[in-house]
Structure 1
Amino acid sequence: MKEGWEKKAVGEIAAHSLGKMLDKAKNKGEPKPYLRNLNVRWFDFDLSDVLEMRFLPEEATKYTAIKGDVLICEGGYPGRAAIWQRDEPIYFQKALHRVRFNEPERNKWFLYYLLSKDLDGTLRNHFNGAGIQHFTGEALAQFEVPLPLLPEQHRIVGILDEAFEGIATAKANAEKNLENARAVFESEMNAFFAKKGNGWKETHIGEQLTLQRGFDITKSEQVDGVVPVVSSGGIKSYHSNAIVSAPGVVIGRKGTLGKVFYLEKDFWPHDTTLWVKDFKGNNPKLIYYFFLGLDVKKFDSGAANPALNRNNIHPLLVNWPPISQQASIVSTLDSLSAETERLESIYKRKLSALDALKKSLLHDAFTGKL
């Protein structure tokens, strides 16, 4: 902490309280919209799903946040917080703390400090609970905040506001570029199977391959080895012996529906998957790309739980290339896939760098280096 700054507990510089407990049997009054911890994001509120609870008129002062109040998650994502900036008050539930500073200008500084402690991993040191953690009122009251004089605080908050706005814009652009890279690949891939070139024919998918349900194997039945056990979500464990020879194509059948995996070594397809038992002379990688571009969720045969039935896929009518053209198509799609992965890697590294920059700026801010 910079020389000349003070460190004070929240209980010394603000009034704080929890919201109203949800109890339909006891709550009286008129239904009013209220905030839950799900509505609180960092620095903002998601008001797309606001519920109502009954409040009496005399409860308004105790259970409403007014403009400038900080609302902090007590549970769910403990410590996540935002400032209520609207002119109209809002009610809030017991899962949230309302913090109202004696000096209202401290609210944004406090919010940045909470975020810095969350990003460096030390905020959790103030939580209670072994399993589900909580940022209790007692812990919040004792939570200490470094406090510069207000003019210096305003200067630092101004720097952070400007920097974070720039980071948010750069991050949004990187995320959009990442999304576009994936979309271009998917579009190009789907275009291959949408056209009907020379030698292509209209056929049922069951005439080109045979899907088979995977094989059940429990954790206790597995013996440590190098054979991948492929479940609907991917490779989760390894077994000592394979049941299917590579190359292989596996599709999530139950749970995580429609994820597609290409296996270049012998494997064990789990019961939660479908695997291609017979490629019928087709290029296995082409079939992988075909399923990668297919929206298999529309073939969901499950009721409560999503499930993919091979009997719903085999009758699917598709345009299919002759075997003589398949290697060339796969080569083109491999190149597109490699370029997409290269671009994704660049954009992911940029996103990581932006997160690191945010963390570094906050560290400098609260050690007096800005």
Structure 2
Amino acid sequence: MKYKLKDIATIKYGKNQKKVVSEDGTIPIYGTGGLMAYATEALYDKPSVLIGRKGTISKIRYVTHPFWTVDTLFYTIINENIVRPRFLYYLMTQVDLLQFNEGTTIPSLRIETLNRFEFDIPTLKEQDEILSKLEPIAEKIELNTMINDNLAA
């Protein structure tokens, strides 16, 4: 069935991290470039797809732990009655976000633009079957990347 992104996820703005950043923090603070620091509290604590708002807009991330995002990075509240969060992540990685760039000097995306994206979403059972095939491959790639990084170091 076809769904617009706005029907399967609510896109939220990140917030300024100054009040929560701490050397004693354990909650990751993400920006479009990746991990920036750690916070004492989470902005959101459920699985989420992170989408760049300004800067590195083409790198989609998926998190399952509590986190904080700064204002250059969107996070999503996913309607899990329609789509598995990890499945949405895989769908979003297939979109060339740079073609939707709305910035003049710094790559930028707007919620209104993202909300119009349309996806063909299979049933939850079909998503689970697809994920059961994709996840072992993704885990193997991640493990190999870590091994290669260790060898390079």
Distance in 2 (alpha carbons) for counterparts of 1:270 and 1:313: 18
Q: 1:255 touches 1:272 (CA, 8 Å); kept in 2? A: yes
Distance in 1 (alpha carbons) for counterparts of 2:101 and 2:77: 21
Q: CA deviation at 1:266?
A: 1.1
1:243 aligns with 2:82: no
Give the TM-score, by structure 2 length.
0.85
Out of 328, 333, 354, the residue aligned to residue 129 of structure 2 is 328
Q: 2:2 touches 2:119 (CA, 8 Å); kept in 1? A: yes
Q: Secondary structure at the match of 2:28?
A: strand
1:297 aligns with 2:102: no
- CA deviations 1:26-48 (Å, max 9, x no partner) are xxxxxxxxxxxxxxxxxxxxxxx
Out of 11, 25, 37, the residue aligned to residue 211 of structure 1 is 11
Q: Secondary structure at the match of 1:258?
A: coil
Q: Secondary structure at the match of 1:243?
A: coil
Aligned-pair identity in percent equals: 25
Distance in 2 (alpha carbons) for counterparts of 1:339 and 1:280: 26
Counterpart amino acid of residue 265 in structure 1: H
Residues 75-94 of structure 1 correspond to what in structure 2 (within 5 A)? none
Distance in 1 (alpha carbons) for counterparts of 2:98 and 2:142: 24
Q: Secondary structure at the match of 2:6?
A: helix
Q: Secondary structure at the match of 2:138?
A: helix
Match of 2:86 in 1: 285
1:226 aligns with 2:32: no
- Which range moves more in the overlay, 287-296 or 341-350? 341-350
Q: CA deviation at 1:257?
A: 1.5
1:306 aligns with 2:130: no
Give the TM-score, by structure 1 length.
0.38
Q: 1:299 touches 1:309 (CA, 8 Å); kept in 2? A: no
Counterpart amino acid of residue 223 in structure 1: S
- CA deviations 1:247-279 (Å, max 9, x no partner) are 222122211212222222211121111111233
Counterpart amino acid of residue 294 in structure 1: V
Q: CA deviation at 1:302?
A: 0.8
Structure 1 unaligned runs (5+)? 1-200, 354-370
Say if 1:269 and 1:345 are closer, same or farther in 2 by CA, change over 3 A. closer
Q: CA deviation at 1:339?
A: 2.7
The count of aligned residue pairs is 151
